[in-house]
Amino acid sequence: MNTTQFQNYAETIQTLNLPLISDTSLLPKSLLMDTDGDLSIYYVPFDYVNQNAKIVIVGITPGFTQLKNALIAAQSNIGLGRSVEETLIDIKKKASFSGAMRKNLVDMLDFVGIEKWLGISSCADLFNTQSHLLHSTSALKYPVFIKGENYNGTPNMTKHPLLKSYLLANFGKEAEMLKNAIFVPLGPKPAEAMQLLVKNGVVDESRILFGMPHPSPASMERINYFLDKKEKSNLSIKTNPDLIDNAKQAIIDKLKSLRT
């Protein structure tokens, strides 16, 4: 765990007036890690890697909501005088996939039986009493914004030089520490990042559960169809039911063949 990096940013984080920071334009330049044209990458204290995790949830990149929640949690822990390690663990627990995404994520994980595979009552417990089983992360670990807005996968992170370098240097390094876990990429962009790691020999493809829709509220139609809450006949042309059906069954089948 890179505690030095957090310590380098701790003073800046401690002095932030977070209630006044409503968008990326109000973030201090001291948190800016890199830029390339319209792209900007900011530091957020997601440095903790749970090497004992049984399941790794992989998003695209933390959005502004997750960034702000992480900074709030960091300030709170610093104010309480907690150690760097305690602080980083608490930040991950409170800020990862926070907001409306978390309920959608839990519903989908439970629907395919991941809670049974893990031996817990619900995947909601991964964010509290069973957090030792979870490592939540992103293909791009540090928040990426384009023109100040949340990055949604364009430009392609597996081809853009700066984004690809961050993907391999950060997420690739984490994945190497998590050989015994299953990986659940959320949506096509994290799945593409996972395929790059497979190609590079970092992760065994047999331990990746491809096809889970992204839990964002913007994907509610796909999520509801995945959860059997919406009929195929009522779907818009934007949703491919056969793709979701095949992916869901593949996840269920792969879980049956994997040991915890």
Residue 115 has pLDDT above 70, yes or no: yes
DSSP class of residue 208? B
On whether the CB atoms of residues 248 and 211 are closer than 8 A, the answer is yes
Q: Name the pTM for this structure.
A: 0.92
pLDDT attached to residue 109: 97
Would you give the distance in Å from CA 57 to the centre of its chain? 6
Q: Are 44 and 141 in contact (CB under 8 A)?
A: no
**Is 199 a residue whose pLDDT tops 70?**
yes
Considering the chain, what is the average pLDDT of its residues?
A: 93
Q: What is the pLDDT of residues 201-248, one digit of tens each?
A: 999 999 999 999 989 898 999 999 999 999 999 999 999 999 999 999
What are residue 32's phi and psi, to 5 degrees? -75, 125
The rounded distance, in Å, linking the Cα atoms of 56 and 13 is: 27
Percent of the chain past pLDDT 90, that is, above it, reads: 85
Structure tokens at 232: 């195929």
Mean pLDDT calculated for residue range 106-131: 95
In sequence order, the 6+-apart residues with CB closer than 8 A to the CB of 88 are 1, 3, 6, 45, 47, 48
Nearest to 48 by CA among 11, 82, 99: 82
Q: Residues near 125 by Cβ (< 8 Å), separated by ≥ 6? A: 115
The 10s digit of each residue's pLDDT in 89-102 is 989 887 777 677 88
